[in-house]
A = this chain, B = another copy of it.
Amino acid sequence: MLIPVIMSGGAGTRLWPVSRRAHPKPFMKLADNETLMEKTLARALAVTGSSVVLTVTSRDYYFLTRDEYLKNTTAGITYEYILEPFGRNTAPAIALAALRLQAEYGGETKMLVMPADHLIADQKAFKTAVDEAEKIADNGQLVTFGVNPTHAETGYGYLLHGEKIADSNGYKLAAFEEKPDLEIAQKYLDSGDYRWNSGMFLFRVNDILQALATHAPDVYNSALEVWSAIEPEDELVELPAEEFSRCPSISIDYAVMEAAENCAMVSGDFGWSDIGSWKAIRELYESDATGNRIRGKGIMIDSSDCFVQSDEGRIVAAIGVHNLVIIDTGDAVLVSDAEHSQEVKQVVSQLNLQQHESAIFHKTVHRPWGYFTVLEDANDCKVKRLVVKPGCILSLQRHQRRSEHWTVVAGTAKVRVGDKEFSLKANQSTYIPVDTMHRLENAEDEDLHLIEVQTGDYFGEDDIERFEDVYGRS
């Protein structure tokens, strides 16, 4: 039995302003309008044939992830989750995933660990590699996936292959190498003996737990403590913050793979990319005759080799510029030389220092019940478009410093204001005074769209008193 374990943690700060802490890289739409999350799930199911998928992610991303998975129409799949209260790097996450799979499916179960935010263009070649890795893992090896390098990349770690493993296309792993400088990367490339470390793994549950116990006992023991503190009764396991905070924050590479003897490597050309920069995203789009690639509305004059992404209908005009990445969102514009696109994280650092919202939120914010888009955020009012998904209901709530005016533009709203309950159809409106209990529900089969005009003197999300909430937020 081979079960995919999808690891979805980081924020992807190098892809700001589209990737934000509240809506990170796995949920970004790519050239084909699919997300990396959606693609990773489809790939996981296809290469493993599993009817179970275990996802390790943050509590914050649970609803977003579930929405992505709902796009998959494969029947009969069980989606299991481990929700982290905060990130602790990959070793504790893999340890807890292994403990859970051991408890549910037994220690002989194999797990294919896949980051949620990688792209693999050649799924057939990847399937071949996974099949090969599975055979090798059956002999107690911890298998890594190497990617044949195409250039002297300094942004990846490297795997040095050892001797060939008999009756297989895999190799013993001779060494794990950290991200090198350019000179060393070039040596690795020239030698022909190194592969890029893709960050994917395949091993038996018992083997990785054994390796953790041997080489990283602090990780192993703290993971056991976390595990003993929870009652994994359903598909959703929430890790307790206090116990989880005692796990060391360390990668599986450092904790286990660099030390263990039983490491192997399968390598191939399966079109892998970690989509780690806007320069990498650019490659996913077809270029025109001048090398420009445009998503959205772009007007290019005397410009070449640029990538433009504008998702909110705004026009981007470029004149006399070359090899630029221009990314436009509702509240931010990035203009970067493509060769400097790794430095985007410096922008995010500055925004975080300034506690600027655009490091975290988009103008469109996802919620368990749907999403809202801020249309106006001024001193005297805040205006939002709310979209409530069919069958969803917001919390019963109350505000102290604002009134709300709701106008339905599509669908039907079931509304409670004070003691009254009523329905509002398109083109009907209602008013919720300050300090009045209210609740909004979409009991129909189509999306409900409404415009909310808030008036008052403070419009922060913290002026929401929640009394009942089906999503556990009250």
| Chain A interface residues toward B at CB < 8 A | 16-17, 299, 301-302, 310, 313-321, 324, 326, 328, 331-337, 339-341, 343-344, 346-347, 350-351, 356, 358, 375-376, 378, 380-381, 383, 385, 403, 405, 407, 409-410, 426-427, 429, 431, 449, 451, 453, 455-456
5 residue pairs A–B, Cβ–Cβ below 8 Å: A299-B347, A313-B331, A320-B343, A376-B383, A380-B449
- Minimum CB–CB distance for A20 against chain B, Å: 12
Shortest A430–chain B CB gap in Å is 9
Contact call B317/A324, Cβ cutoff below 8 A: no
- Partner pick for A314 among B332, B344, B426, CB 8 A cutoff: B332
Q: Are A453 and B451 in contact (CB under 8 A)?
A: yes
Whole-angstrom distance between the alpha carbons of A161 and B195 in the complex?
75
Number of copies: 2
Is the Cβ of A455 less than 8 Å from the Cβ of B409? yes
Choice from B319, B339, B341, B453 contacting A409 with Cβ under 8 Å: B453
Top 5 nearest A-B pairs (CB, nearest first) are A320-B340, A320-B337, A319-B336, A381-B409, A375-B375
How far is it, in angstroms, between the C-alpha of A321 and the C-alpha of B321 when the chains are bound? Answer: 10
Given contacts A299-B350, A326-B335, A351-B315, contact A453 B358 (CB under 8 A): no
The reply to whether B315 and A343 form a contact with Cβ atoms under 8 Å apart is no
Residue numbers in B under 8 Å from A316 (CB-CB): 332-333, 335
**B335 lies within 8 A of A321 (CB):** yes
Q: Residues of B contacting A385 with CB < 8 Å? A: 376, 378, 383
CB-defined contacts of A336 to chain B, threshold 8 Å: 317-321
Question: Which of A324, A385, A453 has the most chain B CB atoms inside 10 A of its CB?
Answer: A453
Closest B residue to A357 by CB, please name it: B315
- Tell me which residues across on chain B come within 8 A of A310, comparing CB atoms: 333
Known: A381-B409, A407-B453, A429-B429. A318 touches B301 (CB 8 A): no
A377 to chain B: closest residue by CB: B313
B324 close to A321 (CB less than 8 A): yes
